[in-house]
Amino acid sequence: MYLIGIAGPSGSGKTELARALAEALGAPILSLDSYYRDLARLPFEERARANFDVPEAIEHELLFAHLGALAGGGTVEIPVYDFTRHSRTDRTETVRAGAFGVLEGLWALYWEDIRRLLGTKVYVDAPDEVCFERRLARDLRERGRSAESVVAQYAATTRPMARRYVLPARQWADVVVSGVEPVERSAAALRAEVLARAAT
């Protein structure tokens, strides 16, 4: 299974690019969001105060094990995370290895052991103001957040942690994509790049 990693700051457009590329390649998507550590053991107020903008918030060990299994042609059960409760649900989603697979998320290029599993490493770049507007709209629409909480989190952790952990990942990218270009155009160009790399 040829793995493509797509990283970039929150709101840069990496999820939309991953979806378009996965559709073009007939590939499954693994989202880092599925691997947030389960905080169900903590009171809700404490869960809500957790820093979700650091790589340590992800169960990296499980992610690495799943990617390794898929790279070897296996099948894995992906956790389903509930952002309204900051905990995993009882459900999982089955992902089976195919010719290609797409890993997307803030830190898709952060860990060296995961980078070694990736055939193509992609970084999606977008201006901070664009990222913030998209993050605000998404969290209000999909994650049951208030505008005030989104603004506070973005200023306190999302932006500074992106500068520390996400933006430096650009150095490891094979391909840098603009998150403000039409996603169809970017996905088509990236598909051609992936197919060329996979053929060598």
* Whole-prediction pTM: 0.91
Q: What is the token pair recorded at 171?
A: 């150095």
Position 4: which residue type? I
Domains, the chain, ranges and CATH? 2-199 (3.40.50.300)
Contact predicate 5/115, CB 8 Å: yes
Q: What is the token pair recorded at 35?
A: 């691997």
Q: Can you tell me the mean pLDDT for 82-93?
A: 92
Strands 75-82 and 87-96: antiparallel
Count of C-beta atoms within a 10 Å radius of residue 158: 24
For residue 29, pLDDT beyond 90? yes
For residue 129, pLDDT beyond 80? yes
For residue 83, pLDDT beyond 90? no
Q: Where are the beta strands (DSSP E) in the chain?
A: 2-7, 29-31, 75-82, 87-96, 100-104, 118-125, 175-178
For residue 200, pLDDT beyond 90? no
Tens digit of pLDDT for each residue in 178-199? 999 999 999 999 999 999 999 9
Tens digit of pLDDT for each residue in 133-168? 998 998 888 877 889 988 988 898 899 999 999 999
Distance CA 63, CA 32 (A): 8
